[in-house]
């Protein structure tokens, strides 16, 4: 990939708990392309939030510990750093919005001042300049009567409006990367559509890259160019959005698709749940993490971790089915199990 804005290599994160050490992220590599949207999907507990939080330096340490890996922005590894060339990474280089805007904002400060604070700290604005800019940012985030709303407090905002205010704050310093961690999970579908439209419009206008963390494949389909599928702390498959949906390479990705109803009036197929639950990350399995739930599991899957097999230029899956010895079997599996159909 040419000139990624962020390049993460071999990231691993552990947490010490009373029950032992949890290996939450176990060797993750990915690149974020300039001006594009990268989606990270997976079930709760798969490590998607921990991945981005440790890049941002938001993982509490202790109990957290980054045991290996790098995250390069240009020539600089931002893991463990707070600043690049004197500028704070958080806010200036990477903005972030969270799932729950209600608890992410300070209830005792008005919205405008919270946004202005970012500009005062990172950009050295005077408080008057900063507040004026905050109103412009709220307006850009499609908050009606921005000047009046800026003086209000979080409790006076609805959930959708708070998320807009969070977006205004995150883009205040025009960071090249915006991390959106389940930005619409707490919102109704109609409000979700508004927020997704807003994010796409902002991306078109200022060319920022978005890292979108979600478990909703519908949101991924609407927003993403490239997708990472995470399972048990690892990326099991990654690729361009169309290839992930129409030519899934990993049984877990196929399983996720088959567990969701399709909006096809003629398809009366039964939902196929993924039986069982994710592995215990106190003692991650030796082989493939999905082994215990995988309908295509073989003996080797329990014994050796699968390597990433390149399925096309930008599409790879970590699964033994793609080993040369198995290619015929894979063709059959795809015919039988594929929940996604590419519309002609």
Residues of this chain that bind another protein (CB under 8 A)? 43-44, 158, 160-161, 188-194, 196-197, 215-222, 224, 241-242, 245, 255-263, 265, 270-275, 277, 340, 342-343
**What is the distance of C-alpha 65 from the center of its chain?**
20
- Which of 51, 214 has the CB closer to another protein? 214
Q: How far is the CB of 198 from another protein (least distance, A)?
A: 9
User: At closest approach, how far in Å is the CB of 163 from another protein?
Assistant: 12
Helices 251-258 and 327-337: crossing angle in degrees, nearest 10, is 10
Distance CA 98, CA 188 (A): 16
Task: Pick between residue 48 and residue 133 the one whose CB is nearest to another protein.
Answer: 48
Q: Are 4 and 75 in contact (CB under 8 A)?
A: no
CA-wise closest residue to 22 among 301, 280, 218:
280
Q: CA-CA distance, 151 to 229, in Å (whole number)?
A: 41
CB of 291 to another protein, least distance (A): 15
Give the tokens for residue 273. 């749940």
Place of tokens 């015919």: 335
Instruction: Between 87 and 225, name the residue whose CB sits nearer to another protein.
Output: 225
Query: Least Å distance between CB 159 and another protein?
Result: 8
Residue with Cβ nearer another protein (15 or 231): 231
Least Å distance, CB 143 to another protein, is: 11
Min separation Cβ 128 and another protein, Å: 31
Please enumerate in sequence order all residues whose Cβ is within 8 A of that of 168, keeping only pairs 6 or more positions apart, or say none. 115, 134, 137, 138, 140, 141, 143
Alpha-carbon torsion (204, 210, 142, 58), positive or negative = negative
In DSSP terms, 36 is beta-bridged to none
- Residue bearing tokens 């798969």: 46
**Contact (Cβ atoms closer than 8 angstroms) between residue 243 and residue 224:** no
Q: Which is nearer to another protein, 270 or 336 (CB)?
A: 270
Minimum distance, C-beta of residue 324 to another protein, in the bound complex (Å): 30
Nearer to another protein, 269 or 304 (CB): 269
State which residue, 121 or 221, has the beta carbon closest to another protein. Answer: 221
CB 294 within 8 A of CB 288: yes
CA distance 58 to 316: 29
């Amino acid at each position: 990939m040419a000139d990624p804005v962020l390049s993460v290599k071999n990231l691993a994160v552990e947490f010490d708990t009373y029950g032992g050490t949890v290996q939450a992220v176990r060797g993750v590599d990915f690149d974020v392309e300039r001006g594009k949207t990268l989606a990270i999907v997976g079930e709760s507990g798969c490590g998607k939030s921990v991945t981005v939080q440790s890049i941002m330096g938001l993982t509490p340490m202790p109990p957290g510990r980054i045991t290996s890996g790098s995250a390069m922005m240009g020539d600089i590894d931002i893991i463990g750093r707070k600043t690049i060339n004197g500028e704070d990474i958080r806010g200036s280089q990477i903005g972030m919005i969270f799932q729950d805007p209600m608890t992410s904002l300070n209830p005792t400060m008005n919205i405008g001042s919270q946004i202005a604070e970012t500009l005062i700290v990172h950009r050295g604005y005077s408080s008057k300049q900063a507040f004026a800019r905050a109103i412009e940012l709220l307006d850009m985030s499609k908050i009606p009567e921005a000047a009046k709303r800026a003086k209000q407090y979080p409790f006076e905002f609805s959930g959708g409006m708070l998320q807009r205010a969070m977006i205004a704050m995150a883009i205040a310093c025009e960071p090249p990367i915006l991390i959106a961690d389940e930005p619409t999970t707490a919102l109704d579908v109609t409000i979700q559509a508004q927020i997704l439209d807003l994010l796409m419009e902002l991306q078109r206008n200022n060319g920022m890259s978005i890292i979108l963390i979600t478990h909703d494949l519908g949101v991924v389909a609407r927003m993403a160019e490239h997708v990472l599928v995470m399972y048990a702390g690892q990326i099991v498959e990654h690729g361009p959005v169309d290839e992930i949906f129409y030519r899934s390479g990993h049984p877990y990705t196929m399983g996720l698709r088959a567990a969701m109803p399709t909006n096809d009036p003629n398809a009366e197929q039964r939902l196929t749940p993924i039986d069982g639950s994710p592995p215990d990350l106190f003692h991650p399995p030796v082989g493939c993490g999905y082994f215990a739930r995988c309908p295509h599991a073989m003996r080797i899957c329990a014994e050796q971790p699968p390597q990433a097999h390149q399925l096309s230029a930008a599409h790879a899956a970590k699964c033994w089915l793609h080993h040369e010895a198995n290619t015929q079997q894979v063709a059959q599996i795809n015919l039988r199990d594929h929940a996604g159909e590419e519309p002609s």
